[in-house]
Structures are given as structure tokens and as C-alpha cells.
Amino acid sequence: MIGADRVHADGHFGRGQKVAVIDSGIDSTHHALNGGQPDGKACFGPGCPISGGFSFVDDAGNEVSSTNPFANCLEGWHGTFTSGLLIANAPDRNFTGIVPQAQIAMYRVFGCHPQDTGDDLIIAAMQKAYHDGADVMSMSIGRIDAWHGSLPVDQMATRLSDLGMHMVISVGNLGRFGAFQAECPANTPRIISVSSVQNNVLQGYTARIKSSQIDREVVYYAANPLAYNKTSVFDIYATSSELDPLMDACKPLPASVSNLTKSAVLIKQSIDPTCRPYNQRNTAMAKDARVILSYGSSTNPILAAGETNGHGIQLVGLSHEDGIFIKQALKTGSKVSIDFSHPQSATVVDKQFGGLSSRFSQFGPSWDLQFATFLSAPGGNMFSLLPVDLGSYGIGDGTSYSTPLVAGAIALYRSIKGSKDSPLELRKILTTTAVPALWNKVNGVVDSVARQGAGVINIHNAIHSTSRASQDYFALNDTRHLNGTQQVTITNVGTEVQRFKMQHQTAGTVHVLDGSPGYYFRKGPLDAQSGQHATLQFTP
């Protein structure tokens, strides 16, 4: 999707580059991170893929000064996941990071409990990474502050960029809240802020849906085959009798529902911002559910199994089509079960959502109308590493995962082209060779630059580019104070004559509306058979 496979085919894997990762720590005992040794044997320091780093907090979140950023706890998985996208080497799963021959240094600023970190720790980590000699810095971290580059952490990012550090920072995952949700330090003017598109392929395994009348193979989307206490067959319990409910398992289940430990609980993934997947998970867990089948909507990407596994519950994703099929089978009154006993690995091309901008990606611009996103990369339904104690592999969504891919792409570029391009010069190369992402595949509308920036990075295009642009974006300000006259100089740095043509490509419009009165309904039509009903829920 980003051209890295073509660069790998040419024999380039990022050798000689060092990427600093500011995150939650890392499991240096993972066989995909420890140089191919068995799980449990740590490799950390010079000569190892994880060549260094520092921990500013311990597991309890207390401030410390430790040279070992090891973390394998539930809330410490994030840094292992992002690092896997950079340097993983896992032939057992045919999984390779974008720069498997590069080195990373992990700077831990989060403990093992859900909590914020401090700007002081982040700034300290940024400074140490610079003084430790990193070439690129990957930061999947941020918080809402929509003024452009106004905080101390923003100023530090700018300063490091001016000193030659390639700063790559995630834009955040609050796309459901609409425009003007820029995060810091991603909205800093001299760095590369990264949005997300959906992965083109979905990782999964086969299972069978069975009843007295049916026997159908389905693919469930998960990083690992499902296994729960050696049980492989579960009766399916649906939390709603409706085929396509808007808000499923968003409220406590009825008291009449007994223990669901031995059932696979079928839930339709909610698209309502007030009912998130973790709300649905908690509803099922309140009845002791341990296996959840989450089927997607016809308008939203499938939710594959991710870090939910660490909560003692296994969640797998199903397609909208398979979810509806199971619901229809249950409506006949027959007992319907799912059999996980003979899983076969399967990859499915996501024809509906693959390559589209991720719905969770945060929108800019900043409050002073500056760009909050420069590039996009795959971040939806991404396969990567988890700490060994949490299952070794997982699938997750977030701009946290598109960010290390862009950081790795920069390391890949530098390993081939050298260090002559400054951070801003290289950003121009990457943005002007990116491929715009679509909002949808029905009418081919390109997504707004307020979310995707220039588009999806293509590192092969960047490496072989023979043109250079003096500007990578135009900030036009507002309508009343329009900066309507802009200038760009394009330079031919190749050996052959090039012809340039100016063209305007229409993108989708983003409306900014009052967020207090809200409604959501499916336009339909809805067909209600005899004895059935259709429900409309809204807030006037």
C-alpha cells in the first residue's frame, strides 16, 4: 500500500538507521524483536534490534530513571505494537516491519495503568532521543490543543526539526467529533503529522456456523486462532433480535439473561459515538461473556480482534453479511453454534473499505486554520506484535499505527539516499509523491485534506522522484482574509525533460455543525414484515 514491498524487493531494509519511539515501553523478549531468539530471552542494547532507550516511569507510573524500557503488562502493549510495525522479523507469521534491519530506541513515558503522562516527561524523552543520536522520531501520542504549535512540547518538536530530527507524530483518533480537532504536538508546523487509511487486507481464520439446517464456513477476523479453555464450539447468543440494530449491547442486558460464559455473544458493532466497542464489550462481560462475535455495519469497517484479549475476553470480527446470516438462522428458532476447532489461516481483501480514510482519523485544521495533517498511511485493522504474555500478536486501529510506518519510510529513504535532505525538504518529497485517498468507493470522491493531508505515502515513488516542489501545501486562511495568490516553484532534478500541468482535483466538503442537537438514523427504506417493527431513535 505504501510501496515498501518494492523497496524491499530491491534489497533495502533500513540498515544503518536509528528510529526513536516515544511510547509505553517494549517487550524485548519477543522473538520478533530479540533477533530471532526464543520468546523470553531478552535482547536489548548495542547489537540488538532494540539498541537502546530509557524509561522515565515504572510499571506503577512513578517517575524513575532507568536504562531499561521493558514493559509486558496489559496497558504497556502499545509500544510493542508500534515497534513491531517498524522492525519486526517474524518468519513464523510471514510478518516483517518496514525497516527490519534498522535499530530502534524505546523511551517509555507511560506506566501500566490507564493514565496520562506529563509534558515534562515527553519533552525529556524527546531531548534524550536526540542526544542519543536518533535519525527519526516516532511519537504516537498527543492531546487536544487546537492552537497551532502553542505548547512547550510543540516548541520542542519544532526545535528538534530545526536541528535535523525527522519528527513524525500521530494526529489522533477522535474523527467522530468532526473538524477543528487538531492535537498537539501533531499540529506543529515543522513536523510530519500522520492520519490513517484502512488496511487493504484483513487477517483471520476459518470457522463453521452450524445448526440442524446449516453448515457454513465463515472467516473471523483476528490475529490468532480463538481458543478458550480448550473449548472450540460455542452456542451463539445474540444481544438483539433485530437484524441490523443501530445501538446493540449499549445498555445492560436484561436480568433474565443468565451466565454467558459458554456462549459466543453476537453483537453488531455500534457506529454511535456514545456507544464505543469497549462499552459493548463491558455489557457482555457483565454477564461473564468470554467470547464476542462483533459483526460490522454495512457503512463502517469491520472491527477485528485487538487488545481486548488482554481483558480475559476474546473478541473476533465478522463481516456484516455473516452477522446477518447468523441472525436470520437464529430467527428460525434453531440452536446455532460456531465451531472454531479446525482453523485455517485466511486473508481477505477489504473491497469495501480498504484504502479509504479511516473514520477515526482526526480532522484539522487548527483553530488558526493551519494544516494539522500532512500524510496518511495504513492504520486501520493493522496486524502487529503484542507482549508475549498477551498473546504475541494482535490487530488494532489507530493513527498510532500509521505513524511508525511513515517514520520507517523516512528511515528507508535515508538508508538509500543519505542524510542530505532536511526534515522539511524530505516532507515536501513525501507529500508531493503521495497518493490521495478516497472518502468512498461509490463516487470516487477524494477525502478532505483536513483529514488525509496530501494522501497515502508511497516511499517507492519518493525514492525515485525527479521533481522538487518549493511548497508542499497552501494555507489560504479564511474567506474574509483570503490568501488567494500562491506561488510554487517546481524543479526538475532528473536527467530528462519533464512537462508539468496544473490541475485542480475536487475533494469532499467537510461541514462544521453545532454539536449539541444531534440525531442519527438510517434513511432506509426499512421493511417491516408482519409482526415486526422498525425503531427510530433521535435527539431533537
**Positions marked catalytic:** 23, 78, 400
* Three-class SS of 154-218: HHHHHHHHHCCCEEEEECCCCHHHCCCCCEECCCCCCCEEEEEEECCEEEEEEEEEECCCCEEEE
Contact 277, 252 (CB under 8 A): no
Residue 341 Cα distances to 228, 263, 309, angstroms: 11, 15, 19
Q: Cα separation of 83 and 22, whole Å? A: 10
Cβ atoms within 10 Å of 391's Cβ, excluding its own:
18
Query: Hey, is 530 helix, strand or coil?
Result: coil
Q: How far apart are CA 340 and CA 343, in angstroms?
A: 6
Cell numbers standing for residue 207? 470457522
Question: What are the residues facing 80 on neighbouring strands?
Answer: none
Q: Which residues contact 120 (CB under 8 A, 6 or more apart)?
A: none
**Residue 537, phi then psi, degrees to nearest 5:** -125, 130
Instruction: Tell me the one-letter amino acid at 479.
Output: T
What is the C-alpha separation between 175 and 173, in angstroms, rounded?
Answer: 6
Residue type, 477: N
CA 268, CA 240: separation in Å to the nearest integer? 9
Decide if 469 contacts 231 (C-beta within 8 A): no
For 444, the 3-state DSSP assignment is coil
Q: State the Cα–Cα distance between residues 276 and 253, nearest whole angstrom.
A: 16
| Nine-digit cell string for 376 | 496518511
Q: Is 89 in a helix, a strand, or coil?
A: strand
What are the residues whose beta carbons fall under 8 Å from the beta carbon of 533, sequence distance 6 or more?
A: none
Q: Are 477 and 508 in contact (CB under 8 A)?
A: no
